[in-house]
């Protein structure tokens, strides 16, 4: 039986990049798979869709292209949701329209699915143009099995928390209502966090399948208004705070949530909304209080970075440079005391 793959590409203000993105899709080897590509026009104000339609009109391959259009701009989350609802494939692949697939990237991901049919998520490596290097240091194929181990991997590895460049079962996403939170930035954070409560295996592939282009005009860039950025972090953190993982993942889970709370704290300086700030500070208090009530003093000491004057440490280049290493030391130190907290 030939399986079907749905590629979902939201389109908004990417006329500089859409040709490269679509050329990378059109050049893929899809002979052994039934592939559809859904292009969601989120009321783009430029010529992105004109370029896309001309390319599709001249395309001679086997991929079926479909154009969907929002009546008003709804943002990346809703564009992906529209694509997911309208897709008909067994598997789904999200691509951001300023990025692109590597030659044979799709065949490589599909071959991974064939070899490991029970893998819930298949992840390829990523080339980051901004840093001119691969994102992940993977030397060989890794199959991680078991829900707890999968969640431990997600919490402790510096992999991109993104929806793109991953093969998912469409039915898994639909059945678990795994749609993206609308009207926020960084929507991949709460979405990924929820996704990992529903899966029990992932396949990591060493070869690069995806090219990530840092677009300063994208919706997730630092040029976004601070109110929206902080509100987005707050909305995402609400999901993170309300979903618990296994007790043995307490330390990495706390550090994961702390990372996003800290991002919100560091982004709050130009936030003008008192309501957003009150919610943020309430989340911070809830988070710190629960850590202290659990007698996790090593973690609580580290979490003081959310407060002044400790937060000023981020003004130091040395601290910023070695923050990841410091975080790892804190995790390992805190986990040494896990034996004192077994229920």
Does one domain contain both 117 and 250?
no
Percent of the chain with pLDDT over 90: 82
- Is 67 part of any domain? yes
pTM above 0.85, yes or no: yes
Three-point CA angle 276, 282, 287, nearest 5°: 125
Q: Which of residues 180, 212, 244 is at a domain's end?
A: 212
How do strand 91-94 and strand 4-11 relate by DSSP bridges? Answer: parallel
State CA 62 to chain mean position distance. 29
- Is 219 part of any domain? no
Does one domain contain both 107 and 249?
no
Residue 296 and residue 254 in contact, taking contact as beta carbons nearer than 8 Å = yes
Please say if the pLDDT value at position 239 is more than 50. Answer: yes
Backbone angles phi, psi at 269, to 5 degrees: -60, -30
Does one domain contain both 263 and 155?
no
Residue 43 and residue 13 in contact, taking contact as beta carbons nearer than 8 Å = no
pLDDT tens figures, 10-22: 999 999 999 999 9
Give the separation between CA 99 and CA 133, rounded to whole angstroms: 15
Residue 228 and residue 185 in contact, taking contact as beta carbons nearer than 8 Å = yes
- Is 246 part of any domain? yes
Does one domain contain both 68 and 187?
yes
Task: Indicate the Cα dihedral angle 29, 35, 38, 39, nearest 10°.
Answer: 20
Q: Which of residues 181, 212, 243 is at a domain's end?
A: 212
Backbone angles phi, psi at 128, to 5 degrees: -100, 115
Residue 207 and residue 104 in contact, taking contact as beta carbons nearer than 8 Å = no
Give the separation between CA 274 and CA 99, rounded to whole angstroms: 36
Does one domain contain both 178 and 233?
no
pLDDT tens figures, 297-330: 999 999 999 999 999 999 999 999 999 899 999 9
Q: Which two tokens stand for residue 7?
A: 């590629």
- Is 279 part of any domain? yes
Please say if the pLDDT value at position 25 is more than 60. Answer: yes
Q: How many domains would you assign to the chain?
A: 2
Give the separation between CA 343 and CA 340, rounded to whole angstroms: 9
Structural domain harbouring 159: 4-212
pLDDT tens figures, 164-201: 999 999 999 999 999 999 999 999 999 999 999 999 99
Q: Which two tokens stand for residue 180?
A: 């993206």
Give the separation between CA 292 and CA 299, rounded to whole angstroms: 9
- Is 320 part of any domain? yes
Query: Buried (b) or exposed (e) across 256-289, using 16+ Cβ within 10 A?
Result: bbbebbbbbbebbeebeeeebbebbeebbeebbe
Give the separation between CA 210 and CA 278, rounded to whole angstroms: 39
Does one domain contain both 198 and 271?
no
Does one domain contain both 61 and 113?
yes
- Is 221 part of any domain? no
Beta strands (DSSP E) in the chain are 4-11, 34-41, 64-69, 91-94, 100-101, 121-128, 133-134, 142-145, 166-169, 201-212
| Mean pLDDT across the chain | 92
Backbone angles phi, psi at 310, to 5 degrees: -65, -30
Does one domain contain both 335 and 230?
yes
């Amino acid at each position: 039986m030939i399986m079907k793959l749905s590629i979902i590409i939201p389109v908004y203000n990417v006329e500089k990049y859409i040709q490269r993105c679509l050329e990378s899709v059109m050049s893929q080897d899809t002979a052994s798979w039934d592939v559809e590509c859904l292009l969601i026009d989120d009321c783009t104000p430029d010529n992105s869709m004109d370029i896309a339609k001309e390319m599709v009109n001249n395309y001679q391959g086997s991929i079926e292209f479909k154009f969907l259009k929002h009546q008003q701009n709804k943002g990346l989350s809703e564009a992906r949701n529209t694509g997911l609802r309208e897709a008909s494939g067994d598997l789904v692949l999200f691509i951001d329209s300023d990025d692109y697939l590597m030659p044979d990237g799709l065949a490589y991901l599909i071959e991974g699915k064939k070899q490991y049919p029970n893998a819930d998520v298949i992840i390829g490596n990523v080339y980051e143009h901004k840093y001119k290097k691969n994102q992940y240091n993977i030397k060989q194929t890794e199959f991680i099995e078991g829900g707890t181990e999968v969640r431990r991997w997600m919490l402790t590895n510096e992999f991109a928390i993104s929806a793109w460049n991953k093969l998912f079962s469409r039915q898994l996403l639909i059945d678990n209502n795994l749609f993206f939170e609308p009207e926020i930035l960084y929507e991949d954070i709460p979405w990924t966090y929820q996704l990992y409560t529903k899966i029990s295996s992932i396949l990591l592939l060493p070869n690069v399948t995806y090219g990530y282009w840092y677009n300063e005009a994208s919706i997730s860039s630092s040029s976004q208004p601070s109110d929206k950025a902080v509100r987005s972090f707050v909305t995402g953190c609400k999901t993170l705070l309300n979903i618990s993982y296994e007790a043995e993942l307490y330390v990495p889970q706390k550090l994961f949530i702390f990372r996003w709370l800290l991002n919100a704290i560091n982004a709050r300086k130009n936030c003008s909304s008192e309501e957003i700030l009150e919610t943020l500070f309430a989340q911070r208090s809830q988070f710190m209080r629960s850590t202290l009530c659990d007698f996790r003093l090593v973690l609580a000491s580290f979490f003081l970075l959310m407060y002044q004057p400790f937060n000023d440490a981020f003004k130091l280049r040395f601290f910023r440079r070695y923050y990841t290493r410091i975080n790892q030391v804190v995790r390992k130190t805190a986990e040494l005391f896990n034996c004192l907290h077994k229920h």
